[in-house]
């Protein structure tokens, strides 16, 4: 597919992540306006709240863009999703509907520079589930802790493994992350103690957003699951490795993951990603019929992780990998999630699991990059890291490369703040 030309000239640059081919959805505010729905186009944001008020844009019977989230629009379903995208392309394309381009007064009101806007959570997260579905990542972690011969659990090649996380601490890019507290038990200690995490990590992931729900008691197919996905974000499921090491047996991650998950600010739709579909890798064992895909369900999306220490003038790129490395697609994960009859809701967020490739520079976490802290990483500044230090800024980014254009998500950024003082019990009176 070729680049679609827009009268918003910045959208025609081959370097922009927001051409007319993309049109991702977000929530933004300015000094003059409260948070509202918008669409990224080049270096600008199109204000859908104002367009709806002016009657230029109408979807459904009631206003849906005067809210600080996209959930109401998602609930309208796939036909409305297509209608909105078609209308936006017509309004923004060269030679299209001139309702905006031919009205200078309206144009000046509905186009906002991204540099003048603050981004907010683009949707209300109803539930958050994170998976462990990257084979290279799972193999690396398993090798570190159980040896190469037992790297993958017996079920791993048959089932997408996941756990239920916390929707309450999913935050938008740019939100600082406080170093978590928790129970810690160093290997040489007899008893645990309570304190600040010392092995704080990133997890480079993609997030799929459920746009239409399912019915309790009713499983869904992989094809149905794919159609339920509204769009995708880049996701950082921050991880407290030392807290997790003590708590995770037998029920898996809990507080080690509950303290924060960051997402990029723009929801990139399935329609925008359609040209970049690719297949999951060959299977060592045939999957059970309910998990088999009717066609390509992954996407070719190049991803990066960069780390910038406090006071440094630049970041060091530590990881370059690709979403196509996943063993299970988001559609398979969603299908499996609903296979027991679990009800899926509009606004559910599905984390892919850490995305790592076969080479060292493709590893999507510091735990892998430093091999459990045994091989510290040297940054461009000359400093070394095994895990995150206070003041470090982690930036996850990515895009799909088309013919003369890119489909991007906006950066997923978080800076680590020091832990708060640990609470203490007061003496009883």
- The catalytic residue among 17, 120, 136, 137 is 137
Residue 427 in any domain: the answer is: no
193 and 340 co-located in one domain:
yes
225 and 111 co-located in one domain:
no
Cα–Cα distance, 173 to 182 (Å, whole number): 24
Helix (H), strand (E) counts: the chain: 11, 27
Closest CA to 237 of 129, 122, 333, 326: 129
Residue 178 in any domain: the answer is: yes
| pLDDT < 50 positions in the chain | none
185 and 330 co-located in one domain:
yes
104 and 142 co-located in one domain:
no
Q: How far is CA 213 from CA 63, 218, 219, 345, 348, in A?
A: 21, 11, 11, 4, 9
351 and 396 co-located in one domain:
yes
What DSSP element (H or E) covers 47?
A: strand 44-47
94 and 16 co-located in one domain:
yes
Residue 268 in any domain: the answer is: yes
- The reported pLDDT for the residue numbered 159 is 97
Which domain-ending residue is among 62, 97, 120? 120
Q: Where are the beta strands (DSSP E) in 169-269?
A: 170-172, 177-178, 181-184, 193-196, 200-201, 204-210, 229-236, 239-240, 261-263, 268-269
Residue 185 in any domain: the answer is: yes
Residue 101 in any domain: the answer is: yes
Cα separation of the two ends of the chain:
73
Which domain-ending residue is among 101, 120, 139? 120
170 and 318 co-located in one domain:
yes
Residue 316 in any domain: the answer is: yes
- The reported pLDDT for the residue numbered 149 is 87
Cα–Cα distance, 63 to 72 (Å, whole number): 9
Residue 424 in any domain: the answer is: no
CB 255 within 8 A of CB 247: yes
Give the tens place of pLDDT for each residue, 13-48.
Answer: 999 999 999 999 999 999 999 999 999 999 999 999
Residue 333 in any domain: the answer is: yes
SS3 for 179?
coil
CATH number of the domain enclosing 240: 3.90.850.10
CB 296 within 8 A of CB 205: no
47 and 115 co-located in one domain:
yes
Q: How many CA atoms lie within 13 A of 266 on its CB side?
A: 27
20 and 50 co-located in one domain:
yes
b/e code 255-265 from CB counts within 10 Å (16+ = b): bbbbbbbbbbb
Cα–Cα distance, 268 to 301 (Å, whole number): 12
16 and 70 co-located in one domain:
yes
Catalytic status, residue 193? no
62 and 156 co-located in one domain:
no
| Residues with Cβ within 8 Å of residue 406, at least 6 apart in sequence | 14, 15, 16, 17, 19, 399, 400
- The reported pLDDT for the residue numbered 226 is 98
Which domain-ending residue is among 66, 96, 120? 120
- The reported pLDDT for the residue numbered 424 is 76
Q: How many domains does the chain have?
A: 2
**Checking DSSP bridges between strand 412-417 and strand 177-178, what pairing results, if any?**
parallel
Cα–Cα distance, 48 to 24 (Å, whole number): 12
Instruction: Give the residue numbers spanning the domain of 19.
Output: 9-120
Give the tens place of pLDDT for each residue, 117-173.
Answer: 999 999 999 999 999 999 999 999 999 988 888 899 999 999 999 999 999 999 999
113 and 163 co-located in one domain:
no
- The reported pLDDT for the residue numbered 249 is 86
Largest pairwise CA distance in the chain: 78
Instruction: Tell me if the pTM is above 0.85.
Output: yes
């Amino acid at each position: 597919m070729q680049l679609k030309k827009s009268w918003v000239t910045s959208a025609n640059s081959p370097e922009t992540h927001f051409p007319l081919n993309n049109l991702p959805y977000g929530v933004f505010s300015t000094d003059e306006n409260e948070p509202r729905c918008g669409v990224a186009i080049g270096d600008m944001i199109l204000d859908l709240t104002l367009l709806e008020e002016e009657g230029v844009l109408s979807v459904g019977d009631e206003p849906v863009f005067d809210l600080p989230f996209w959930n109401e629009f998602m609930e309208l379903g796939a036909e409305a999703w297509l209608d909105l995208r078609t209308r936006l392309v017509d309004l923004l394309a060269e030679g299209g509907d001139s309702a905006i381009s031919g009205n200078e007064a309206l144009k000046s009101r509905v186009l906002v520079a991204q540099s003048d806007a603050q981004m907010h959570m683009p949707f209300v997260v109803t539930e958050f589930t994170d998976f462990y579905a990257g084979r290279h990542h799972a193999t690396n972690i398993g090798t570190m802790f159980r040896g190469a011969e037992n790297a993958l659990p017996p079920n791993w090649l048959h089932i997408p493994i996941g756990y239920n996380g916390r929707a309450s601490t999913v935050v938008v890019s740019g939100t600082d992350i406080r170093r978590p507290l928790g129970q810690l038990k160093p290997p040489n200690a007899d008893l645990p103690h309570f304190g600040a995490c010392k092995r704080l990590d990133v997890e480079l992931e993609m997030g799929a957003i459920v746009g239409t729900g399912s019915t309790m008691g009713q499983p869904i197919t992989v094809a149905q699951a794919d159609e339920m996905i509204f769009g995708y974000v880049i996701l950082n499921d921050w991880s407290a490795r030392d807290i997790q090491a003590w708590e995770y047996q037998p029920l898996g991650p809990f507080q080690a993951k509950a303290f924060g998950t960051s997402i990029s600010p723009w929801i990139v739709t399935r329609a925008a990603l359609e040209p970049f579909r690719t297949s999951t890798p060959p299977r060592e064992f045939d999957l059970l019929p309910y998990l088999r895909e009717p066609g390509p369900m992954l996407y070719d999306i190049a991803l990066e992780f960069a780390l910038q220490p406090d006071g440094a003038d630049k970041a060091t790129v530590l990881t370059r990998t690709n979403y196509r490395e996943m063993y299970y697609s988001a559609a398979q994960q969603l299908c499996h999630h609903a296979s027991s009859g679990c009800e899926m809701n509009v606004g559910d967020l599905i984390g892919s699991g850490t995305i790592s490739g076969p080479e060292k520079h493709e590893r999507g976490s510091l735990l892998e990059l430093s091999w459990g802290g045994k091989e510290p990483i040297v940054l461009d500044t000359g400093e070394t890291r095994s895990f995150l230090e206070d003041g470090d800024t982690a930036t996850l980014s990515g895009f799909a490369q088309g013919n003369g254009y890119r489909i991007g998500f906006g950066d997923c950024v978080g800076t680590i703040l020091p832990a708060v003082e640990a609470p203490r019990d007061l003496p009883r009176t």
